[in-house]
Amino acid sequence: MPCLEKDPVNIRNEPFYRTLVEHSPDPILVLGPDLRVVFSTLKDMEVMGLPGVEPMGTSLLDYASVEYRDEMAGWLERVVADPERAHRFEFEGRQRIKGGRHLVAVARNLRRHPAVQGIVVTLQDVTTQRRAEMEARLDAMYDSLTGFARREFFSAQMHKAVAHAARHGEFLAVLFVDVDGFKAVNDALGHDAGDRILKEISVRLRDTLRSDDTIGRGQLLENEDRIARRGGDEFTIMLTKLGSPVNSALVAQRMLDAVAFPYSIDGKEVTVTISIGIAVFPQHGRSVEELIRNADTAMYAAKKQGKNIYRFHAEP
Given a contact cutoff of 8 angstroms between Cβ atoms, the answer to whether 176 and 296 are in contact is yes
Helix (DSSP H) and strand (DSSP E) numbers for the chain: 9, 14
Cross-strand partners of 227: 237
Give the number of C-alpha atoms closer than 13 A to the C-alpha of residue 294, restricted to the C-beta side: 21
Given a contact cutoff of 8 angstroms between Cβ atoms, the answer to whether 160 and 226 are in contact is no
Distance CA 174, CA 312 (A): 10
How many Cβ atoms are within 10 Å of 285's Cβ, its own excluded? Answer: 19
Given a contact cutoff of 8 angstroms between Cβ atoms, the answer to whether 19 and 25 are in contact is no
Active site residue 180: no
Distance CA 302, CA 309 (A): 6
Distance CA 97, CA 48 (A): 10
Cross-strand partners of 28: 122
Distance CA 246, CA 107 (A): 61
- Where helices occur in 142-230 by DSSP H, the ranges are 151-168, 182-189, 191-207
Active-site hit among 233, 257, 266, 296: 233
Q: Tell me which residues are annotated as active site.
A: 233
